[in-house]
Amino acid sequence: MVEIPAAAVELAELLAVVVGAGAASAIGIVLEQFGLSAASAGDFVLGAWAVGMGLLALYIGVVGLGYEQALPRIQQLVAGE
């Protein structure tokens, strides 16, 4: 069986977290835009739902994955730990 170096595993995990944070943030932005356009068109229930889901996706992308997961891993990688 082939041994995978620990640094390669950490880089792969970091890449997955960064891509996930970017995807969640992009989905949040799209939902926000859709919610604002739906609300301005008169569909307030759908607009409110989309804005709420957009805020949740933005929170997950920026805070949950970006600030709490990716940033500490990047700091550890730069520090050489």
Neighbours of 21 (CB within 10 A): 22
pLDDT at 28: 97
Neighbours of 17 (CB within 10 A): 19
Q: What is the mean pLDDT of each run of 10 residues along the chain (81 residues)?
A: 86 94 97 97 96 97 94 89 70
* pTM, full prediction: 0.86
* Assigned token pair, 80: 């050489």
